[in-house]
Structure 1
Amino acid sequence: MGPEVRVGLSVERSLEWVVAVLGVVKAGGAYVPLEGSNPAERLRWMKREAGVAVVVGREELVEEVAESADVVVSLDADAALIGRQPKSNPPLRGDGRSLAYVMYTSGSTGTPKGVGVPQKAVARLVKGATYARFSAEEVWLQLAPVGFDASTLEVWGALLNGAKLVVYPAKELALEEVAATLKAHQVTSLWLTAALFEQMQAYQPEALAGVKQVLAGGDVLPVQRVKERLRAGGTLINGYGPTENTTFTTTWRMQKESDVGERGAPIGRPVEGTEVYVLDEGLRPVAVGVPGELYAGGEGLARGYVGKPELTAERFVPSPFGEGERLYRTGDVVRWRDDGALEFLGRRDGQVKVRGYRIELGEVEEGLKQQAGVKEAVAVVRQERGDKRLVGYVVGEVEGTAVKEGMRRRLPEYLVPTVVVVLEALPLTANGKVDRRELP
């Protein structure tokens, strides 16, 4: 082990997960979450793509991932050997530029992208930050999946500040059980996706009211639920940021209803160590109120996409405002408000957010097209009763249920459409493109 060595962690959310993450980083290496919720074929691809040198995990999970040539540390079979290791703190290896982790996000070309994040980017997120309270008195709940970059905030926000970290068991979230956990452990700091915040505020408001600071995001926050939280006297922080800029790029703290704004909660102002720019297509700053693309720079930037130099060069571009600096093109369309806060307007491409997960519709469509019998395919997001659903449309001699099952063998559940509709033909516009507005 040492700097830049990548360790695949096939460990569910647990105490062992936290210990493994801490051990890998202390040894100077970088952890690569290999979640068991992903199909085995996808996990093995991610492991090879990331250049994983060692696989660590529970035996039953490692079996899904490991191949014959892999170096494997089994937390079960090797428990006695692990127990005989010294308990002294290891010597410092690596520095802030060393890779801390590689996390995979959905990719528009049909394969996921591994985002490589250095240690200094993690430190910038939780050390010396003022957008939220980070102190030894806080009690954080790790609720996010281990392969979701919100776990960076939860784990390191606690450990690097001497706070308590409560780890929610590795099972499906149940609102009643989350509420009971918040009360039993007197959790003070909590991150929720926009969808989960809406559910908790609607059905477990009393438990949520007991949490001093709630951070939420990953999608547009529901205004009604935001105001309910604020009327109850709680603080709510809207957090915005892509994985490529280490969890948060901007935040907006709300403590009273007037903080919400006429158009809903803004995404706010940049966090410490971050610069943001709203630029036109010529990389020129736009005026207040004028829509433009959001570019982010500073200490939170990832190195880029592991093993994808061309894509890295496309998305991480030289900054026109500082020599040698880089900016990440988020693809998000925003505008400045008069008060200096940013307002989110939408996307420039086919990326969407469903229940907090970042989804490239291109990857879903590629997964649909790879199913036997499918000739054409398109994916869209539908809004029903305040909930977003991923819907697939295919043309071919197939059954929708069979297509879904085939996708489950290749893709994680969040990329599998809730329903697959079989059509005789896809509706087209006059210029021959799929007319998504005419899909049933």
Structure 2
Amino acid sequence: MSDCGGSTAPRFADELLEGRRESAATAVVDLDSGERVSYATLARRTQTLTDLLSGHGVGRGSTVAMVMDKSVASVTVMWAALRLGARYVPLDESLPSARVALLLGMCEPTVTLVHPQHRGLLDGAPAGTVVTVGGELPAEPDGEWWDPGAETDVRAADLACRAPDDHAYVVFTSGSTGSPKGVVISHRAMCALLDGVQRVVGFEEDMRYLNVAPLFFDASVVDLWSTFLVGGTVHLLPRLRMPTQITRACEEWRITDTLLVPSVIRMLVGRFSDAGRRDLSSLRRLWFGGESCPVSVLRAFAAMVPGLTYVHGYGPTETTHSATLFLTDDIAGYEEEFLPIGGPLPSVDLLVVDDGLRPVPDGETGELLIGGPQMMVGYCGDPERTARALVEPPGAGGERFYRSGDYVWRRGDGALVFLGRRDDALKINGNLVHLSEVEAATLAVRWVTDCCAVPAEHPVTGKAITLFVLGRRDAGDSLPDETELRRELALRLPDYMLPARIDFLADGDVDLTPSGKLDRSRLRELANK
């Protein structure tokens, strides 16, 4: 099995910055505040915070939580935690206090850093030592305070007592039951990802990456650390409020790379003609994943921004974001409705198996198992859930694999095609239906911007499908009606897959998750009211 031993791969994630601690090149630009810092400045600020954290007992095996808006200070916290051998845990500052307390209790931080405006979220929470980040220093400080602009001469980090299997970060996701899962990722896994992505995609030193994903979303790992790997510049976009923020930033800062969820790409294409008026010629690669994205949408984007390479990534959080990649620069000539998810990164092992975890022949449908160095350490404080997620298939020589719960099939050229999730399946009149297949057919309709298919109760069949649709109006046209949509779906789906109910969403009706996707849990509630 391969490891992250390529020539560009460090053993620890923080070494990416350690080797650039005297560089005058710009490391981070905060597009909200306008602040921009060099690698050297970032290193000096990190040293100040490293000394502060060390004084509060942070060291190898510790946890440093952060309840902060995205900023240069956030990146400083990540680097400082890693330099001390601790793991960083970014939390969503928009969560209610009870949820924040629950997550902190699961990861047991030694120190929690918090912006002043979010300080109330930590009242009564098991946050360890609380350090307030920035703001005006009160005359009588209530607890510890850190000035994120303070700098100290940099000393070399002590790597001698550390190991690649030490924890690097924890990202929280929701399970199928709605209960949170704290996914623990090691330095080995993080370095394997970065090395693999660099080998497959190839980056340049002048890379200017627009980070749209929140820092508590695992896509940010690729955004930030792949850029730091080659000494490029990360541009931090504040919490996304409108897609035109993206096109404006790309033009102003001559962005070369950005990663967007398909929902946002569809919004750019379908509802913001402003995107077409922006000069986006600096873009080299558009990264996307996490949802189905019709090739027709990518063609429309390509018409606005020709000459791009499209990087389709697939991978659960448990496998350090991206386990597979598919690259193409010929969207116009691509004939299928959806791109495949591609092949494994160099350090990733994949199996396509049946219900007994036995490999299936190429061309047959099976569940995808993912192994190799990129696999998570486990779920934070939850060994039982970890044991259920990691399995040892027959004939795998004792190697553990993560059960993705995703159904795929392998094409003749080796690329994998995603079909749907194990837990999005239901039976209607004895027929097995994958909701993702219904969504894929809906997204292939020209005027559909986004959609979500959810299970609902039906008085006759017991189970049925409710389809929520967000559509766009072409110039001078009204929004197509349900009859037209049903006619389109009937051309693509068998009768038993057709939705029993279709609800059209207006812009004001749409709830998005922090990562920019439709809020499925909210739509499930609406479907069963």
SS in 2 for 1:31: strand
8 Å CA contact retained: 1:55, 1:62: no
Q: Which residue of 1 aligns with 2:193?
A: 125
How many Å apart are 1:244 and its aligned residue?
Answer: 0.4
Q: Which residue of 2 aligns with 1:74?
A: 132
Q: Give distance in 2, aligned partners of 1:81 and 1:248.
A: 32
Q: Is structure 2 residue 272 aligned with structure 1 residue 225?
A: no
How high is the TM-score relative to the length of structure 1? Answer: 0.79
Matches within 5 A, 1:210-359: 210-230=282-302, 232-257=306-331, 260-350=334-424
Extract unaligned runs of 5+ from structure 1: 363-377, 387-403, 425-440
How many Å apart are 1:111 and its aligned residue?
Answer: 1.2
Percent of aligned pairs sharing the same letter? 28
1:18 to 75, 78, 83: 75
SS in 1 for 2:339: coil
Distance change >3 Å, CA 215–CA 263, structure 1 → 2 = same
Q: Give distance in 1, aligned partners of 2:296 and 2:465.
A: 29
Q: After superposition, what is the alpha-carbon deviation per residue over 1:133-189, rounded to whole angstroms, capped at 9, x for unaligned?
A: 3332211111101111000001111122211111112x3332222211111111111
Q: Give distance in 2, aligned partners of 1:334 and 1:68.
A: 42
8 Å CA contact retained: 1:259, 1:265: no
Greater Rg, structure 1 or structure 2? Answer: 2
Q: Which residue of 1 aligns with 2:205?
A: 136
Distance change >3 Å, CA 225–CA 165, structure 1 → 2 = same
How many Å apart are 1:242 and its aligned residue?
Answer: 0.5
Q: Give distance in 2, aligned partners of 1:32 and 1:81.
A: 18
Distance change >3 Å, CA 211–CA 319, structure 1 → 2 = same
SS in 1 for 2:201: coil
8 Å CA contact retained: 1:3, 1:99: no
8 Å CA contact retained: 2:310, 2:329: yes
- AA of the residue aligned to 2:468: R
2:95 to 38, 44, 66: 38
How many Å apart are 1:66 and its aligned residue?
Answer: 5.0
Distance change >3 Å, CA 283–CA 207, structure 1 → 2 = farther
Q: Which residue of 2 aligns with 1:382?
A: 468
Q: Give distance in 2, aligned partners of 1:259 and 1:95.
A: 47
Q: Give distance in 1, aligned partners of 2:235 and 2:339.
A: 29
8 Å CA contact retained: 2:131, 2:146: no
Q: Give distance in 2, aligned partners of 1:423 and 1:262.
A: 34
Distance change >3 Å, CA 381–CA 154, structure 1 → 2 = farther
Q: Give distance in 2, aligned partners of 1:260 and 1:81.
A: 48
How many Å apart are 1:414 and its aligned residue?
Answer: 4.1
Distance change >3 Å, CA 86–CA 191, structure 1 → 2 = same
SS in 1 for 2:325: strand
SS in 2 for 1:120: helix
How high is the TM-score relative to the length of structure 2? Answer: 0.66
Q: After superposition, what is the alpha-carbon deviation per residue over 1:295-320, rounded to whole angstroms, capped at 9, x for unaligned?
A: 11111100111111111111111243
How many Å apart are 1:253 and its aligned residue?
Answer: 0.6
How many Å apart are 1:22 and its aligned residue?
Answer: 1.1
8 Å CA contact retained: 2:343, 2:415: yes
Q: Which residue of 2 aligns with 1:417?
A: 522
8 Å CA contact retained: 1:297, 1:328: yes
Q: Is structure 2 residue 61 aligned with structure 1 residue 4?
A: yes
Q: Give distance in 2, aligned partners of 1:196 and 1:160.
A: 27
Q: Is structure 2 residue 243 aligned with structure 1 residue 175?
A: yes
SS in 2 for 1:214: strand
- AA of the residue aligned to 1:10: V
8 Å CA contact retained: 1:38, 1:413: no
8 Å CA contact retained: 2:65, 2:113: yes
Q: Which residue of 2 aligns with 1:59?
A: 116
How many Å apart are 1:413 and its aligned residue?
Answer: 9.7
Q: Which residue of 1 aligns with 2:268?
A: 200
- AA of the residue aligned to 1:75: V
Q: After superposition, what is the alpha-carbon deviation per residue over 1:202-260, rounded to whole angstroms, capped at 9, x for unaligned?
A: 43245555310111111111221222344522111111110000110111111113764
Q: After superposition, what is the alpha-carbon deviation per residue over 1:331-353, rounded to whole angstroms, capped at 9, x for unaligned?
A: 00000111111001111114989
Q: Give distance in 2, aligned partners of 1:413 and 1:57.
A: 28
Q: After superposition, what is the alpha-carbon deviation per residue over 1:41-79, rounded to whole angstroms, capped at 9, x for unaligned?
A: 101100101122210121222331253762112122523
8 Å CA contact retained: 2:82, 2:88: yes
Q: Give distance in 2, aligned partners of 1:306 and 1:157.
A: 25
- AA of the residue aligned to 1:55: T
Q: After superposition, what is the alpha-carbon deviation per residue over 1:411-432, rounded to whole angstroms, capped at 9, x for unaligned?
A: x9946615854978xxxxxxxx
Q: Which residue of 2 aligns with 1:432?
A: none
How many Å apart are 1:27 and its aligned residue?
Answer: 1.3
8 Å CA contact retained: 1:115, 1:305: yes
8 Å CA contact retained: 1:11, 1:61: yes
Q: Give distance in 2, aligned partners of 1:381 and 1:106.
A: 22
- AA of the residue aligned to 1:173: R
SS in 1 for 2:154: coil
2:171 to 77, 98, 103: 103
Q: Which residue of 2 aligns with 1:154?
A: 223
Distance change >3 Å, CA 12–CA 147, structure 1 → 2 = same
Distance change >3 Å, CA 80–CA 195, structure 1 → 2 = closer
- AA of the residue aligned to 1:154: D
SS in 1 for 2:199: coil
SS in 2 for 1:237: strand
Q: Give distance in 2, aligned partners of 1:260 and 1:64.
A: 49
Q: Give distance in 1, aligned partners of 2:518 and 2:129.
A: 28
Q: Give distance in 1, aligned partners of 2:330 and 2:362.
A: 25
Distance change >3 Å, CA 172–CA 233, structure 1 → 2 = closer
Q: Is structure 2 residue 154 aligned with structure 1 residue 91?
A: no
Extract unaligned runs of 5+ from structure 2: 1-57, 138-144, 426-434, 440-451, 456-463, 473-508
